[in-house]
Amino acid sequence: MIQAYVFPGQGAQFPGMGKHHYDNNAFAKRFFEQANDILGFRISDVMFEGSEEDLRQTRVTQPAIFLHSVIAFKSIENAAPHMVAGHSLGEFSALVANETLGFEDGLRLVSIRAMAMQKACESIPSTMAAVLGLEDQKVEEICSEIFRETSEVVVPANYNCPGQLVISGSVKGIEIACERLKAAGAKRALVLPVGGAFHSPLMAPAREELAKAVESTGFHKGKCPVYQNVVAKAVTDPNEIKQNLVDQLTGAVKWTQCVQAMIADGASKFTEVGPGKVLQGLINKIDKSVATEGVN
C-alpha cells in the first residue's frame, strides 16, 4: 500500500490546539518550548488559552498550525511516508515530515512568511471568496475578463476540490467577480473573513521577503517526493522545491490536481496530520475510492 501524508493550512486552527500533545509527550513539550524561544513569544500560551480571535492573527495562525502538525507527525510510530503534500502553509509541515527541512528552519520560514503576508495584507485592501458549484474553467474565464475590463486583480487561488474554488484579489475585483459568478450559475460566491488576497499577485511584496529567507536556508534531499501546490506533481530536487515554495505565495494552490497526481502515482491511503479534518473531506470529494484518516 502506498501511503500519503497530507498537512492542513490556514483555517484549521482552534482554541486549545496541541495541548493534548504537550500534556502527554515529553518530546512535544520540548518542541513547544523551542518554538517559544525561536518565535520570541509564548505561542504555546496562545494555542492553549487564546481565543479564536487571538488564533486568527496570521503571525500566530501559521506557526501554530505548523507546530501542531509537525508534533502530530512525530507522534506517529514508524511513520514512513511514500509521498507528502500540504495545503498552502501545510507544504512546510510536509517538508519537515519528509526531512527536506529541519524543524527549526521550517518554523523560522513559516514565521517570516506569516509576518510578510500580514504586512502585504495591511498595505493593500484585498480579500478572497469561495465559489461553489461552477466549473473551474468558467471561474478562470470570468476572472480573466474582469482583469481585462477593469484592471482589478482577481485570480483563482485554491482549487480545493471539483466544484469548490477560492478566488483572490482586490476588494472591488472580488465584489464584481461574486456578482458575475452568481449570474453565471454558481450556487454560492461568498466573500471569506480573511484580511488579504493570499495566492495572488498582490502577495508580491511578501514573496520577495520569503525568497530571501528561503535562499539562505539549507534544504536537503527528502526521503520521499513532495507534491507541491503550484506544479501539482512530485518534486525531489531541493532547488525546485525552494522555487515552488516562493512561487506559491503569488500562485494558485492546485490541491485537486495534487491529490489526483498522487492517486495516479499509486497513493491508496491518505493520512491527514495536524489540526482539523478539512483535507480528508476534500480528498473524499476528489476521489471516493481512496481511504482517508486523520492524526490530530
Identify the CATH number of the domain in which residue 137 sits: 3.30.70.250
In a shared domain, residues 206 and 257:
yes
Q: Do residues 225 and 142 both lie within one domain?
A: no
Please give the Cα distance from 255 to 86 (Å, whole number): 9
Identity of the residue numbered 10: Q
Based on the fold, state whether residues 114 and 142 are members of the same structural domain. Answer: no
Does 196 fall in a domain? no
Please tell me whether residues 105 and 141 are part of one structural domain: no
Q: Which three cell numbers stand for residue 105?
A: 528552519
Q: Which of 21, 44, 82, 88 is catalytic?
A: 88
268 is catalytic: no
Q: Is 88 a catalytic site residue? A: yes
155 and 100 in one domain?
no
What's residue 138's pLDDT? 97
The pTM of this model reads 0.96
**C-alpha distances in Å from residue 143, one per residue of 175, 186, 195:** 11, 14, 20
For the chain of 296 residues, list the mean pLDDT of each consecutive stretch of 10.
95 94 94 96 96 90 97 93 97 98 98 94 92 97 97 97 97 97 96 90 95 97 97 98 98 98 96 96 96 96
Chain-centre distance for alpha carbon 1: 26
Cα–Cα distance list, 190 to 17, 131, 153, 228 (Å): 27, 7, 17, 27
Same domain, 176 and 55: no
Q: Report the C-alpha gap between 271 and 70 in whole angstroms.
A: 13
Domain holding 268, by residue range, is 2-122+201-295
- From 87, 111, 199, 200, active-site residue: 199
Residue where one domain finishes, among candidates 168, 191, 214: 191
Q: What is the pLDDT of residue 176?
A: 97
pLDDT value for 229: 98
* 187 in the same domain as 246: no
For residue 60, the one-letter residue type is: V
- The label of the residue with cell 501511503 reads 3
